[in-house]
Structure 1
Amino acid sequence: MPDTLANRAAAAPLTIRMHAEDNVAIVANDGGLPPGSALPGGPVLRERVPQGHKVALVDLPAGAAVLRYGVPIGYAVQDIPAGSWVHERLLQMPAARGLDDLPMATRGAAPLPPLEGFTFEGYRNPDGSVGTRNLLAITQTVQCVAGVTAFAVQRIQAELLPQYPNVDGVVALEHGYGCGVAIDAPDAAIPIRTLRHISQNPNFGGEVMVVSLGCEKLQPERLFPSEGIPIQDRRGTGSAGPLAVPLLPGGEPRSGAGGVVCLQDEAHVGFMSMVDSILRQAEVHLKRLNARRRETVPASELVVGVQCGGSDAFSGVTANPAVGFCTDLLVRAGASVMFSETTEVRDGIAQLTARAATPEVAQALVREMAWYDDYLKRGGVDRSANTTPGNKKGGLSNIVEKAMGSIVKSGSAPIANVLSPGEKLSAKGLTYAATPASDFICGTLQLAAGMNLHVFTTGRGTPYGLAAVPVIKVATRSDLARRWHDLMDINAGTIADGQASIEDVGWALFRFMLDVASGRQKTWAERWKLHNQLVLFNPAPVT
Structure 2
Amino acid sequence: MTETQAPTPLRIKLDARDNVAIVANSGGLPAGTVFDDGLTLVDAVPQGHKVALEDIAAGGSVIRYGEVIGIAVKALPKGSWITEFLVDLPAAPALADLPLATRPAPDLPPIEGYTFQGYRNADGSVGTRNILAISESVQCVAGVVDHVVAIIKAELLPKYPNVDDVVGLGHAYGCGVAINAPAAIIPIRSLQNLTLNPNFGGEVLVIGLGCEKLQPERLLPGKTADAAAGDILSLQDEKFVGFQAMVAGILEMAEERLKRLNERRRETCPASDLVVGVQCGGSDAFSGVTANPAIGFASDLIVRAGGTVMFSEVTEVRDAVHLMTPRAVNAEVGRAILREMAWYDRYLAEGETDRSANPSPGNKKGGLANVVEKALGSIAKSGKSPIAAVLSPGERATTKGMIFAATPASDFVCGTQQLASGMTLQVFSTGRGTPYGLAAAPVIKVATRTDLAKRWHDLMDLDAGRIATGEATIEEVGWELFRLILEVASGRKPWSDQWGLHNALTIFNPAPIT
State the partner residue of 2:42.
46
Aligned mates of 1:347, 1:40 — CA distance in 2: 34
State the partner residue of 1:542.
513
Aligned length: 514
Find 1:424's aligned residue among 373, 396, 421.
396
AA aligned to 1:538 is N
Deviation string for 1:27-71 (max 9, x for gaps)? 001101011111232421111111000001111111110110011
Deviation string for 1:479-525 (max 9, x for gaps)? 00011000000000011121110011000000011011111x21000
AA aligned to 1:246 is D
Distance 1:242 1:40, change over 3 A: farther
Q: Is 2:9 the counterpart of 1:10?
A: no
Contact 2:318 2:375 in 1 (8 A): yes
State the partner residue of 1:236.
none
Aligned mates of 2:308, 2:225 — CA distance in 1: 28
Aligned mates of 1:265, 1:294 — CA distance in 2: 38
State the partner residue of 2:467.
495
State the partner residue of 1:135.
131
Deviation at 1:112, TM superposition (A): 2.3
Aligned mates of 2:17, 2:35 — CA distance in 1: 17
Q: Is 2:285 the counterpart of 1:313?
A: yes
Aligned mates of 2:146, 2:36 — CA distance in 1: 58
Contact 1:111 1:413 in 2 (8 A): no
Distance 1:243 1:312, change over 3 A: farther
AA aligned to 1:177 is Y
Contact 2:336 2:390 in 1 (8 A): yes
Aligned mates of 2:18, 2:456 — CA distance in 1: 32
Find 1:531's aligned residue among 480, 499, 502.
502
Distance 1:58 1:48, change over 3 A: same
Aligned mates of 1:460, 1:217 — CA distance in 2: 41
Deviation string for 1:113-167 (max 9, x for gaps)? 1000000010000100001100000001111111111111111111111111110
Aligned mates of 2:330, 2:440 — CA distance in 1: 33
5+ long unaligned stretches in structure 2: none
AA aligned to 2:508 is F
Q: Runs of 4+ in structure 1 displaced over 6 angstroms?
A: none
Aligned mates of 1:242, 1:95 — CA distance in 2: 45
State the partner residue of 1:78.
74
Deviation at 1:247, TM superposition (A): 5.7
Q: SS of 2:226's equivalent? A: coil
State the partner residue of 1:96.
92
Aligned mates of 2:207, 2:375 — CA distance in 1: 40
Distance 1:350 1:243, change over 3 A: farther
Aligned mates of 1:244, 1:148 — CA distance in 2: 26
Deviation at 1:21, TM superposition (A): 1.0
Aligned mates of 1:330, 1:192 — CA distance in 2: 30
Contact 2:136 2:206 in 1 (8 A): yes
TM normalised by structure 2 equals: 0.98
Distance 1:338 1:245, change over 3 A: farther
Find 1:470's aligned residue among 436, 442, 456.
442
Q: What is the correspondence of 1:337-376 to structure 2 with a 5 Å cutoff?
A: 337-376=309-348
Contact 1:42 1:57 in 2 (8 A): no
Find 1:32's aligned residue among 25, 28, 33.
28
Aligned mates of 1:21, 1:247 — CA distance in 2: 61
Deviation at 1:223, TM superposition (A): 2.6
AA aligned to 2:217 is E
Contact 2:192 2:218 in 1 (8 A): no
Find 1:378's aligned residue among 350, 370, 379.
350
Aligned mates of 1:418, 1:454 — CA distance in 2: 18
Aligned mates of 2:82, 2:187 — CA distance in 1: 41
Deviation string for 1:317-360 (max 9, x for gaps)? 00000000001100000000000100001011111110000010
